[in-house]
With several copies, the nearest count.
Chain A
Amino acid sequence: MSSNIQNAAAPIVIPGHRSPARVAGPRSKFGPASIGHTLGHVSPEIAKVGLSEICLSYRTHGGERLLALDHINLQVRPGEFLCVVGPSGCGKSTLLHLIAGLHPQTSGQILVDGRPVEGPGPDRILIFQELGLFPWLTVGENVEFGMKMKGVSKAEREEKTRYYLRLVHLWQFKKSYTHQLSGGMRQRVALARALATEPDVLLMDEPFAALDAQTRDLLHDELERIWAETGRTIIFVTHNVREAIRLGDRVVLLTFRPGRVKREFSIDLPRPRVLEDVHVAHAARAILDELREEINRSLEVEYSVGVKPHLAPGAEQ
């Protein structure tokens, strides 16, 4: 069991201190670093997506600033399936927005294919947590949108639209408007729209959060297949640790506000993996333990200034 998960490098970054990424950090108790490829060796040159020393702070009420991301260093190999987990509000979505080029970072550098990111590009498509479907377009037109922008021919667009809408089981709804869909259906439209654009790098922000278990399982399989067949690089944010292990080559755990890379886990389980599998469950436990640490830290922050409401002892998952 312990050989299936590998804590490759988890440098605990001290705020404000510039520590180079990928130096050896404390090892996870789950196993030696020797199993699997050594993540520490993804050099920035060959990385598909490289983040170095990324910080981002938001303006909040009263002119204060909230540090959302704090010196993030992360190299993603071409064709890697990277999962990002972390407590709610730790900066996962923010991270994807930065890579997508939708806001500028406060400091640090983001390289995609060795070139600094200066705005959105058709090589990086993000599935927004809020979906961002266009209400003035039908489901079919939404899926076509990215292709239309790229100048894909009408015939090809139609073919792909059909293919991807079938994939997410919504072909029948191609002429519906988004307000006529249920929450889960909307999420699948957003998925189809992003997949249909066929980008090099797919940035997915909790794309399966509103789906029932069965549908999600089917789509896990589809996503994994597409990934394997096309060699796309995927950065996948999820709050579901099992899902991260089911899909990822590597799982990055972010800390609670401000978001830093707390630890990285290399997942060496053979594919296809199964969500309910004991190996997956076991691997999840390690990550969940770390996550719990973060949540407890968040609670300390929350309750440091007042009375704590009744809280049941931490549950087991």
Chain B
Amino acid sequence: MKRAARLVIFYTCLFGLWALLAQLKIWPPYLFPTPWGVAQELYYGFSDHSYWIAIAVSMRRVLIGYAISVVAGMILGLGVASNKFLEETMGGLLVSLQSLPSICWWPLALLWFGLNQKAILFVVIMGSLLSVTLAMEDGRKQMPKIYGMAGRNLGARGFQLFWHVLLPASLPFIVSGLKQGWAFAWRSLITAEMLYVSLGLGQVLMMGRETSNMNAVIAVMILIIGLGYIVDGLIFKSMEKRLQHKWGLTAAT
């Protein structure tokens, strides 16, 4: 109950501040939209279903792309952390490859897949894959040695060792990295959707910008934040809670 109250207070204050700033008219409303302008935009967007469609399309893309990134990133990360050759060669490139803006991958995506969903998925995957890989590698490397030793000592080998020991032992790292990967995936998706208009929130954002419709821009921001909030709550927060419960990272009394 108290938690809910605190949340209500926080968001009320936030919106109040926004409304106040908008009311003061320091900036004209098409530069600094009012909450009610944005609310109206959201209302229209939802009532003509265009926002629902945009959300459905973008969520589908980001979820598929992200899921592939997570699986592939984990495998890659494990490879990099356990294979000396890969570590020396790929390992040093992970951070820098991850620094490449998504737009760099777009020509390649077009070349390989043409203008379609796959190209967008490719950009999303390239945007988040190496982030997950990095997290996995770091998790694997910075995991206390004792877990690996205990696992091997008890007979775990190869995939078993990975699945039953290395993965759970580095889960605290991985969960942290997964969040970053999620953010990367969204950003890449929006970039891709802005390059090639094919529904999705990126399109709404682009069009809002193209038509100088700040209400729409803010509406999309709110939608992205809202979706992130839900996913964070459903996936990451609950993973963290489980982790903290198991590992005893919260007070138990």
Contact among B154, B168, B245, B251 with A149 in the assembled complex (CB-CB below 8 Å) = B154
Say yes or no for A265: interface residue by CB 8 A criterion: no
CB within 8 Å of B: which A88-145 residues: 97, 100, 102-104, 106, 119-122, 124-126, 128, 130, 132-137, 145
Contact among B146, B155, B171 with A136 in the assembled complex (CB-CB below 8 Å) = B171
Say yes or no for A179: interface residue by CB 8 A criterion: yes
Say yes or no for A146: interface residue by CB 8 A criterion: yes
Chain B's closest residue to A106 (CB) is B253
Whether the Cβ atoms of A193 and B154 lie closer than 8 Å is: yes
Give min CB distance, A118 to chain B, whole Å: 12
Whether the Cβ atoms of B153 and A102 lie closer than 8 Å is: yes
Contact among A57, A58, A122, A178 with B155 in the assembled complex (CB-CB below 8 Å) = A122
Whether the Cβ atoms of B251 and A136 lie closer than 8 Å is: no
Find chain B residues with CB under 8 A from A215 CB: none
Chain B's closest residue to A203 (CB) is B153
Contact among B151, B153, B160, B246 with A135 in the assembled complex (CB-CB below 8 Å) = B246
Chain A's closest residue to B149 (CB) is A102
Find chain A residues with CB under 8 A from B160 CB: 149
Whether the Cβ atoms of B164 and A145 lie closer than 8 Å is: yes
Whether the Cβ atoms of B253 and A146 lie closer than 8 Å is: no
Give min CB distance, B148 to chain A, whole Å: 9
Interface residue count on the B side (C-beta < 8 Å):
25
Find chain B residues with CB under 8 A from A128 CB: 146, 149-150, 153
User: Contacts A132-B147, A134-B168, A135-B246; is A126 near B153 (CB within 8 Å)?
Assistant: yes
Whether the Cβ atoms of A179 and B247 lie closer than 8 Å is: yes
Say yes or no for B152: interface residue by CB 8 A criterion: yes
Give min CB distance, B241 to chain A, whole Å: 14
Give min CB distance, B160 to chain A, whole Å: 6
Whether the Cβ atoms of B246 and A177 lie closer than 8 Å is: yes
CA distance A122 to B155 in the complex (A): 5
CB within 8 Å of B: which A148-204 residues: 148-150, 177-180, 193, 197
CA distance A130 to B147 in the complex (A): 10
Interface residue count on the A side (C-beta < 8 Å):
36
Contact among B155, B169, B245 with A146 in the assembled complex (CB-CB below 8 Å) = B155
User: Contacts A128-B149, A177-B246, A179-B248; is A149 near B253 (CB within 8 Å)?
Assistant: no
- Convert B142-167 into 0s and 1s, putting 1 for each residue whose CB lies closer than 8 angstroms to a CB of A: 00001101111111110010001100
Q: Tell me if B's interface is mostly helix, strand, loop or mixed.
A: helix
CA distance A59 to B244 in the complex (A): 14
Whether the Cβ atoms of B149 and A149 lie closer than 8 Å is: no
Find chain A residues with CB under 8 A from B169 CB: 134, 136
Contact among B146, B152, B252 with A120 in the assembled complex (CB-CB below 8 Å) = B152
Give min CB distance, B216 to chain A, whole Å: 45
- Convert A69-87 into 0s and 1s, putting 1 for each residue whose CB lies closer than 8 angstroms to a CB of B: 0000000000000000000
Say yes or no for A56: interface residue by CB 8 A criterion: yes
CA distance A177 to B147 in the complex (A): 16
Whether the Cβ atoms of B155 and A197 lie closer than 8 Å is: yes
Whether the Cβ atoms of B253 and A120 lie closer than 8 Å is: no
Give min CB distance, A97 to chain B, whole Å: 8
Give min CB distance, A58 to chain B, whole Å: 5
Whether the Cβ atoms of A132 and B168 lie closer than 8 Å is: no
- Convert A240-282 into 0s and 1s, putting 1 for each residue whose CB lies closer than 8 angstroms to a CB of B: 0000000000000000000000000000000000000000000
Contact among A97, A150, A180 with B248 in the assembled complex (CB-CB below 8 Å) = A180
Whether the Cβ atoms of B253 and A132 lie closer than 8 Å is: no
Whether the Cβ atoms of B155 and A150 lie closer than 8 Å is: yes
Chain B's closest residue to A177 (CB) is B246
User: Contacts A132-B149, A145-B164, A177-B246; is A104 near B253 (CB within 8 Å)?
Assistant: yes
Give min CB distance, B117 to chain A, whole Å: 37
CA distance A56 to B253 in the complex (A): 8
Chain A's closest residue to B245 (CB) is A177
Chain A's closest residue to B154 (CB) is A146
Whether the Cβ atoms of B154 and A197 lie closer than 8 Å is: yes
Find chain A residues with CB under 8 A from B247 CB: 135-136, 177, 179
- Further 14 A-B residue pairs, CB within 8 A, beyond A103-B253, A125-B153, A149-B164: A59-B253, A103-B251, A122-B155, A126-B153, A132-B153, A134-B168, A134-B169, A136-B171, A145-B154, A149-B157, A177-B246, A178-B248, A197-B154, A197-B155
Where the two chains meet, the residues of A that have a C-beta atom closer than 8 Å to any C-beta of B are 56-59, 97, 100, 102-104, 106, 119-122, 124-126, 128, 130, 132-137, 145-146, 148-150, 177-180, 193, 197
Cross-chain pairs A/B with CB under 8 angstroms, 6 sampled: A103-B251, A119-B152, A128-B153, A134-B147, A134-B151, A149-B155
